[in-house]
């Protein structure tokens, strides 16, 4: 058996040899990893897309005197944002309230979203492709996040995608470090070669800061977590108002 007992060259050594021989092109040595919601596309658009799907899925079952979609949109901009479906069902006086709410949640999460990348996000992904390794780390319910990734065509634009819910519920959602550790391994980069770009000060930067990544906050007008505050060690290393500024802050 040829080579038996010899230490196999590690992946990085192997790649360097192939590059030196001209068999493959040199790959970028730095990685930019993005959050999804309100970083690459507007989360509000996803929510309203889901409300449209829910309104279409329940004709006649909700004895509402108001237009269901319009009422959900109104409630989204009130303190009842987190319990829109419950309020709708309560106001309708439905007898099977719990079942109806769970069906509305299911319809919301599994709908095919009508969403688009922010213009600066689309431009950044085009511009950065080939110059950096690109990845995505996102929390959120697996089925819903997968539908967003599909709708935005991200599988073709990114090298690696990790949806933390894939490991079984909220246990590994941010700020758990597992996704960040795994992403660096998958992309074959050192922590110091990684940057994470995200919008939520409350949870997004704790793990990558601790691991030695660069961290960048994208501040978007109208984002869901605009007013979130950072816990100790959770502040971003830099802040941008547009992904057009990303390379400038990463190279300072």
Least distance (Å) between residue 143 CB and Mg ion:
18
SS3 238: strand
Q: Is the peptide bond before 109 cis (omega within 30 degrees of 0)?
A: no
Least distance (Å) between residue 224 CB and Mg ion:
8
Q: How many residues bind Mg ion (CB under 5 A)?
A: 4
Are 165 and 7 in contact by the 8 Å Cβ rule? The answer is no
Least distance (Å) between residue 201 CB and Mg ion:
11
What does the DSSP assignment read for 19-43? HHTTSSPPPPS-EEEE--BTTTB-H
Nearer to Mg ion, 60 or 227 (CB): 227
Candidates 1-9, 87-95, 111-119, 194-202 — which segment interacts with Mg ion by CB under 5 A? Answer: 194-202
Nearer to Mg ion, 108 or 200 (CB): 200
Are 201 and 225 in contact by the 8 Å Cβ rule? The answer is yes
Tell which one of 118, 132, 199, 215 touches Mg ion (CB under 5 A): 199
Q: Could you tell me which residues are beta bridge partners of residue 198?
A: 217
Least distance (Å) between residue 88 CB and Mg ion:
26
Least distance (Å) between residue 176 CB and Mg ion:
16
Least distance (Å) between residue 163 CB and Mg ion:
13
Residue nearest to Mg ion (CB): 37
| Mask for 31-70, x = binds Mg ion (CB under 5 A) | ----x-xx--------------------------------
CB atoms within 10 A of CB 28: 17
Query: Half-sphere exposure (CA, 13 Å, Cβ side) for 158?
Result: 24
Q: Is the peptide bond before 175 cis (omega within 30 degrees of 0)?
A: yes
Instruction: Decide: is 165 part of the binding site for Mg ion (CB under 5 A).
Output: no
* CA–CA separation, 236 and 174 (whole Å): 15
Contact positions vs Mg ion (CB under 5 A): 35, 37-38, 199
């Amino acid at each position: 058996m040829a080579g038996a007992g010899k230490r196999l060259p590690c992946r990085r050594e192997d790649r360097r040899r192939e590059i030196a021989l001209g068999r493959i092109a040199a790959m970028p040595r730095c990685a930019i990893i993005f959050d999804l919601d309100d970083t690459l596309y507007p989360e509000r658009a996803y929510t309203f897309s889901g409300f449209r799907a829910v309104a279409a899925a329940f004709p006649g079952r909700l004895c509402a005197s108001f237009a269901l979609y319009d009422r959900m949109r109104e409630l989204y901009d009130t303190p009842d944002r987190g319990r829109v479906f419950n309020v709708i069902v309560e106001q309708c006086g439905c007898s099977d309230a719990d079942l109806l709410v769970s069906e509305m949640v299911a319809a919301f999460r599994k709908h095919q979203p009508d969403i688009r990348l922010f213009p600066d996000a689309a431009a950044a992904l085009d511009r950065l492709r080939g110059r950096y390794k690109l990845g995505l780390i996102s929390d959120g319910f697996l089925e819903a996040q997968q539908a967003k990734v599909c709708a935005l065509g991200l599988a073709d634009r990114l090298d690696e995608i990790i949806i933390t819910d894939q490991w079984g519920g909220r246990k590994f959602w941010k700020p758990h470090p597992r996704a960040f550790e795994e992403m660096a391994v998958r992309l074959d980069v050192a922590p110091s070669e990684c940057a994470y770009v995200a919008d939520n000060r409350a949870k997004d930067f704790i793990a990558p800061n601790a691991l030695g990544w660069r961290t960048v906050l994208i501040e978007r007008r109208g984002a869901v977590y605009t007013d979130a505050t950072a816990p100790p060690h959770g502040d971003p290393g830099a802040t941008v108002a547009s992904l057009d500024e990303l390379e400038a802050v990463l190279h300072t």
